[in-house]
Amino acid sequence: MNQLLLSSKKNRASGFKKTVPAFIFACATLFAIDASAVSIMRTHVPEAVASGLAPRVSTMATAQHLKLALNLPLRNEADLDSLLQQLQDPQSPNYQHYLSVQEFTDRFGPTQQDYDAVVAWAQVNGLKVTGTPANRRLVDVEGSVDAINRALHVQIGNYRHTTENRTFFAPDREPTVDLGVPLLKITGLTNVTLPHNHLLHKPAAQEQALATVHLTGSGPSGEYLPSDMRAAYYGSGSLTGAGQTVGIFSYDGYISSDVTLFYSKTGMKSSVPIQNVLVNGYSGVCDAGDGSGTSPCDDGEQILDIVNVIGMAPGLSKVVFYEGSSATDILNQMATDNTAKVLSCSWGGGDFGSADDPIYKQFAAQGQTFLNATGDSGAYTTSNWSAPSLDPNILDVGATDLVTTGPGGGWSSETAWVDSSGGFLSQAGYSIPAYQKLAGVVTTSNKASKTLRNDPDVAAEGNFDNPTVSNGSFLTGYGGTSFAAPRWAGFLALVNQQAAAKGKPTVGFVNTKIYNLGLGTTYHSLFHDITRGNNGKFNAVSGFDLVTGWGSPSGAALINALTQ
């Protein structure tokens, strides 16, 4: 494994249905499902529970149902890591020779025998199998708390949160399973961390100060529209993202009329179709991400993601909008669909974790690029960092304060946004990746870590000068790395369009190439090197830094370099 054993649809076999026929028990015996082969999994008990800081309020009602995902580890992961290096090495005969979902599964997915054993074990233990993805990485199950307690040898209880005014559920001990097949993690056993997006409204204290600033966008009061981002970061070229598909990750649904409202209020237009994918039985209701279907809709994040991807790449074939309650399930669906070659995420928390790293590796092996917003709390601390930021197999995006030459005009200047999250953190558990070990990345001026993964990799506009729509209302004064990630996603769709026109594959995991370009002699013609501003701890400096990474894209020149 690259890291510690941590957390991670199409119903497959018709033989695995609602009842448990006799042959299931035969399978249980065949695959050594017995108490002598106990697999012990870790990191399921929140620290506050393990330390006793979170007081236990009650036992969880045994009749209540939970959805879980049983995560199986990859097979031959050392060989996969070697292949990923070759896919990124222009001197390798395997350079950009990406795998299909089936090829990846055959080489690196769990064996069919192991997978069937886990399915059989789940059904024997009273858990309903609700999803069996094509890559055999997850077995989605649902069951009563009583059945889960017995199957995992735990007691799920309700605990008082130490920093938030709510209770959460969690197991009282690390689960064990009477199963001869190793499991990476079981996701869904706790909600100690709630999902959150990386969207902010400008604080009241900044309202008056910002009111005196002359903004240069095409929107109300000079705020930036997605079309302004295309003009600033790409220019007037002919690439539109034609033939390309971008996927968007979301922990919540959205109101489709809010997309229409955004366009009507801004004068922009779009004919790009939006395909909604409801993952693992998700309702699609916009309910602030809590799954209740009763809380007020807040879809400002979802709308800005859609319109900013399309704003950068207005000719996309489609946007695929993935909605679900589990990050592991959504990510795995994106991988097994393998439809969108650029994937954008502006969410953190929830059940994101290091066990999702195998899915990011599958993205890379299949030529998919996963982009993530780093967050809006300044330099990382143990209290403001949240996964998936700092995973070495994704492209992390920070935020800036952009000035253009005028409405619909070109790039003029850019400063680091003070709230842009970045830095490094041992808590994340990731060692410095090979692309950050290159000479010249870590310097005395940028104060990057020599041993840990550093963030961000790149950046784009995300100050409080952007509009969005939420629940039927047009809103202004919003910012966050939430804006930066989809803007870079749309830009990479342009890159993939040009690659296709050259008869080349998609750029896929682009970090290695970006870092090599950043260290090259043409760096300043490819990126806007941002050297002013800070995020409270780290300064924007010449070259790579822990506020803006290598900076923002400098149009056609970077596209040409990425598709050489």
pLDDT tens digits for 170-188?
999 999 999 989 999 999 9
pLDDT of 463 reads 96
d(CA 441, CA 85): 19
pLDDT of 206 reads 61
- Residue 256 three-state SS: helix
pLDDT of 32 reads 39
Instruction: Give percent helix, percent strand, percent coil of the chain, each to the nearest 5.
Output: 30, 20, 50
Checking if the pLDDT of 470 tops 90, the result is: yes
Checking if the pLDDT of 415 tops 90, the result is: yes
Give the number of other Cβ atoms within 10 Å of residue 451's Cβ.
10
The encoded tokens of residue 559 equal 């596209």
pLDDT band for 166, please (50, 70, 90 cuts). Answer: very high
DSSP string for 280-339: GG-----STTSS-S-SPP--HHHHHHHHHHHHH-TTBSEEEEEE-S-HHHHHHHHHHH--
Q: Residues 6 or more apart from 284 whose CB is under 8 A from it? A: 253, 276, 278, 323
Checking if the pLDDT of 395 tops 80, the result is: yes
Radius of gyration of the chain (CA): 23
Spell out a b/e string for 298-312, using b for 16 or more CB atoms within 10 Å of the CB, else e: bbbbbbbbbbbbbbb
For the stretch 334-350, pLDDT in tens is: 999 999 999 999 999 99
pLDDT of 22 reads 39
Checking if the pLDDT of 246 tops 60, the result is: yes
pLDDT band for 213, please (50, 70, 90 cuts). Answer: low
d(CA 316, CA 491): 11
The distance of Cα 396 from the centroid of its chain, to the nearest Å, equals 9
Q: Which of these ranges, 26-40, 199-213, 462-476, has the smallest mean pLDDT?
A: 26-40
Q: Which of these ranges, 34-43, 99-108, 193-202, 333-342, has the smallest mean pLDDT?
A: 34-43
Q: Which of these ranges, 7-16, 39-48, 92-101, 408-417, has the smallest mean pLDDT?
A: 7-16
Rounded to an integer, the average pLDDT of 283-296 is 74
pLDDT band for 51, please (50, 70, 90 cuts). Answer: very high
Checking if the pLDDT of 9 tops 60, the result is: no
Q: What angle do CA 171, 175, 76 make, to 5 degrees?
A: 130
Q: Residues 6 or more apart from 4 whose CB is under 8 A from it? A: 42, 43, 354, 429
Rounded to an integer, the average pLDDT of 263-274 is 97
φ, ψ of residue 45 to 5 degrees: the values are: -90, 120
Strand partners, 246: 319, 342
pLDDT of 39 reads 62
Check if the beta carbon of residue 361 is closer than 8 Å to that of residue 398.
Answer: no
Checking if the pLDDT of 11 tops 60, the result is: no
State which amino acid sits at residue 133. Answer: P
Checking if the pLDDT of 229 tops 60, the result is: yes
Tokens 């090495």 correspond to 89
d(CA 436, CA 453): 8
pLDDT of 18 reads 37
Checking if the pLDDT of 12 tops 50, the result is: no
Rounded to an integer, the average pLDDT of 84-111 is 98
Q: What angle do CA 248, 254, 260 make, to 5 degrees?
A: 95
pLDDT band for 241, please (50, 70, 90 cuts). Answer: very high
Checking if the pLDDT of 498 tops 90, the result is: yes
pLDDT of 364 reads 98
Rounded to an integer, the average pLDDT of 547-557 is 98
Q: Which of these ranges, 128-132, 171-175, 207-211, 433-437, has the smallest mean pLDDT?
A: 207-211
> What is the pTM (predicted TM-score) of this model?
0.92
Mean pLDDT of the chain, nearest integer: 92
For the stretch 357-392, pLDDT in tens is: 999 999 999 999 999 999 999 999 999 999 999 999
Check if the beta carbon of residue 349 is closer than 8 Å to that of residue 150.
Answer: no
Q: Residues 6 or more apart from 50 whose CB is under 8 A from it? A: none
pLDDT of 296 reads 85
Rounded to an integer, the average pLDDT of 437-460 is 98
- 410 by Cβ neighbours in 10 Å (0-12 / 13-18 / 19+) ranks as middle
